[in-house]
Amino acid sequence: MIRRHTRTLMPLAALAIGAAAGTVTFSGTAGAETTDIVRTGASEDGYSSSSRPTYTFGTSDTLVAGRSGSDTMVTYLKFTVPSPGTGVTVKSAQVVLTRESKTLPNALTISKVADTAWTEKALSAKNDPAVGAAVSTAKPKSDAAAVSFDVSSIVKGAGTYTFAVTSRVANSPARFRSAEATTGQPALTLTVTRPAATKPPATKPPTTTPPATKPPTTTPPATKPTTTPPATKPPTTTPPATKPVEATPTPTTPAECKVDAKLVPSCGVLWGAAAGGFSDVPRDEALKTFEQKTGRTSTIYHTYHKGDELFPTKDEIAMSSDPASPRTLMLNWKVGYGTKWANVANGDQDARIDRLSTYIKTNYGTKKFFMVLHHEPENDVNATAGSGMTAKDYAAMFRHTALRMKANGVTNAVFVVAYMNYEKWNNTSWWGDLYPGDDVVDWVGVDTYNNAQPGGFHYGDFNYLMNRTNDKAKFPGWYTWATTKHPGKPIMVAEWGVYDSSATVVGKNKADVYATVLPQLAKMPQIKGLVYFETAKDQNGHDIRMDDTPEALAGFKKIAADPRFNVKL
């Protein structure tokens, strides 16, 4: 990554830049004081996140400052100001940040940071420098294009200056463009003056004498062209044994992998993620961080909703409408939240279904998306007859919801049933009753996790992740079941992840499991979607981040880089 140490200057009078030495010099009209505006780009910038204490964001094109739930994010900025020249006075200084997206909080504070040794590459909540005294507070409009902070009390001349930007406004973090953005990077703007007597440095003007390099002579180069053709013989009239190139069919490149009306790829596998699980970090922000770290856009963006929530949200729509990062949504809905599956199947929540149907048609048109209805139902089954939460009640709820949404004119939902792949449930007599029916199920999905601790519970490779069983007579393994019972259905690994239950986490453990994914995935052609669930701490305390160690991240990036995930939406 190229550091932005260049100084962009916008003079109100004539201005010259000493580029070789990295200094700034000024020129102006004699007999009058000259005023100039000097803009210096950030040499380092990044932000820290209290809920993701080990994460670094120095390569992100976005800076975040403020609060979201229990997560506090602080933006750090470092500017290196060169000498403005003899006799030059800094009259005022402003730090300017360009809004990247979202609305701005009504108050943002910039504070002095004494530590100037931090680097964006290493900056995280575990080591971020202490925030010092407040310098100034800005109160921008929510849709302001940029925010300016007066730092005239701090910046008086040449030197290295570091600042922190914070906000106490709840659930309204500000997002700004960083030095890695293509436009609108952070800037320190100085207004400077110099006396008219000040002369520009003795930079010599170009002379009329040409450089020492001799002009070309009239004598040709030492290697003289000859009238004799090159030693290579001309082609004979006898064709070579091998057919001419023109007659040889040009090897064709593999067909471009595209999706059909049910979002099934013609080749390859859809790549996706549900990032920032069980945290207060906004899901779109967490996904962008995940993509940045792994090096690939998540074609499937998996989010979760329940009850009367309306979705896709504005943020989700924005994420799936980004032409630079094409994505489709996987929206998980617990339609029966606050009631029972049997009640939904009986029509008690039709108003809820109808309201969402209208919202989707109005706000999302006909763009295709995945709809998962109440993932991992096994954990909520009450097998007692009449409970309203039996396996058959789940299947009836799924059917009723899918059919009513279709009747309401929702034509762009691709329905997914997502199991949880836990042996205890797979072996039950009722597990088979969960399936809603081929006519309402477009994809068969599974949520499944592995332990990377050698010898630990649920330790295994990718094959084990997809096909584990403790009693083949009762259940042959999930992938075997899906491909045998529903051979015409594409398989969605709607959630997968790897954690390490070792007393001391060993980076090699996760990396070893990740290394089995690609070769074993190749032997499971019915898998058409692979969606990683990323969280620092799940309900059982497991760390399922792909980057909890450098070794794990390196192993995961090898998976993400594979061309089989180059599927075009």
Residues labelled as active-site residues: 376, 495
> Cβ–Cβ contacts within 10 Å for residue 24, how many?
24
**Phi/psi class of residue 386: alpha, beta or left (left: φ > 0; alpha: ψ in -120 to 50)?**
left
Single-letter amino acid, residue 171: N
Beta strand pairing call for 108-112 and 62-68: unpaired
**Using CA of residue 537, residue 540, residue 541, residue 547, what is the dihedral sign?**
negative
Q: What is the DSSP string of 105-160?
A: PS-EEEEE-------TTT--TTTPPPP--EEEEE---TT-SEEEEE-TTT--SSEE
Name which of 126, 110, 26 is nearest 76 in CA terms. Answer: 110
User: For residue 299, what are the contacts with CB-CB under 8 A and spacing of at least 6?
Assistant: 270, 271, 272, 326, 327, 328, 565, 567, 569
Rounded to the nearest angstrom, the gap between the alpha carbon of residue 209 and the centroid of all alpha carbons in its chain is: 55
Closest to 537 (Cα-Cα) out of 277, 275, 272, 274: 277
- Give 281: exposed, middle or buried? Use CB within 10 Å, 0-12, 13-18, 19+: buried
Nearest to 560 by CA among 533, 530, 524: 530
With beta carbons less than 8 A apart as the criterion, state whether 510 and 517 touch: no
Q: Which of 25, 527, 549, 503 has its CA nearest to residue 272? A: 527
CB contact at 8 A, 96 and 148: yes
> Residue 373 CA to chain centroid, in angstroms?
25
Give the Cα separation of 435 and 447 in Å (integer): 15
The rounded distance, in Å, linking the Cα atoms of 264 and 258 is: 8
Contact between residue 356 and residue 349 where contact means Cβ atoms under 8 Å apart: no
The CA distance from 382 to 390, in Å, is 5
Q: How far is CA 333 from CA 37, 131, 194, 212, 390, in A?
A: 54, 41, 65, 76, 18
Contact 191, 92 (CB under 8 A): yes
**Tokens found for residue 567:** 């599927």
